[in-house]
Structure 1
Amino acid sequence: MSRPRRLTVGNLVYHVIHRGNGRMTIFEDEEDMDAFERVLEEALALHPSMRMIAHCVMPNHWHLVLYPSESKVLSKFVAWVASTHTRRWHAHRHQTGEGHLYQGRFRSFLVQKGPPVAKVCRYVERNAMRAGLVERAEDWRHGSLWRWSRGAAKQKELLAAWPDPPGRRPAGWLDLVNQPQSDAEEEAIRVCLRRERPYGDAEWMETVIPQFGLVSTLRPQGRPRKEG
């Protein structure tokens, strides 16, 4: 089955994930993660129409929740981040031109504004804690939750306001992120990651899936069963 079409429509929210080739470790230490976040800062400065509302850098992948104000910027932004980071990663290791760092193209899915955005951001910001890398989500220094709760003013500038509603993280956000999400909620988001399926309520899905030609994201994966 062919992959879903890549959406680049402005003023919509997207969850983006990119993994190391073969799920290899691409961030071996704090210095590697710091270097990648500097690439993010440069990318946001070069693409002023891109807004980032959440992110998390993990040892073998990264998550971004993006809210571009213009169309056709999403793919350009993520491609610039990945290609620039790849060049610098190889140059730092004196391995220029020695193979792919990332696993094919990045994956993304559309997120309904309102409560679904909060659920996806919560999923992203508790990623390191869920993996057992920290005791509390805000302890992970390479993500938006740390920047939002503990970062200096300059570091917080990397984060844009959430779309209305709610426009910002809700009251009690730290405690909420540190509480487990339900298995059903996490699995629903993982399905969207795998299938690049929009994430939102049923009524919204019934509108955006045909509007943007995403019917294929609802079909079962794999080859159809043979009859007889």
Structure 2
Amino acid sequence: MSPEPAQATASRPGLVIFDCDGVLVDTERLATAIEARTLTAMGHPHTQADVVATFMGRSAADAFTLLTDLLGPARALEFDERSTAETREAFARELAPVPGVVAVLDAVEAAGLRYCVASSGSHARMELTLGTTGLSDRFVGRIHSAEAVDRGKPWPDVFLHAAAREGVDPSGCVVIEDSVNGVLAARAAGMEVLGFAGGLAGAEALRQAGATLFDEMADLPPLLGLYNSRSA
């Protein structure tokens, strides 16, 4: 359970911004396990929790910089090749939407709320993950990547970019996040943040970063001023 009950928003937001990995698509559990195994096999023991704490929520460029510092340039490239190949195979076999998120998107659409995705991931990665899970058609023209900005999360740039492209003031945006870096980025952008505590980051870490917590996707619609999906 969450450390405290989350309260519904007083009014519906002008724009709901979904993070991608761990919020829309259940990539984090697969990818971080593979990355931990690969780093360990390369002589740098890492648990899945270590990978989450160090890399989750960061842009690909920032993550690669950290890997280069750890492994050196050549071995960082080797890690990237090995982990990417295994991750693609795992996604093809196992990747699915985060449980309950399809119903959330249905509720948001039915209410006429505007929504988009803003992620540290590249457009190519989101094309793969959203496409594999059947969610890509729901975000056509509304996919925003940290590739488009100078700084990734925890800087606010990708969220401010998304709000500007969607024509909504940051103060009218609500961000759905599952990583500490994502929560910090959204807060720095001046946006309300709802933190999905059903992911890997841990509820207390998300709360301390400034998120209002929810445990399951079924808990999210009332936080957006919508019906309670448990009784729908």
Query: Which one scores higher on RCO, CA 8 angstroms, separation ≥ 6?
Result: 2
Q: Structure 1-normalised TM-score?
A: 0.30
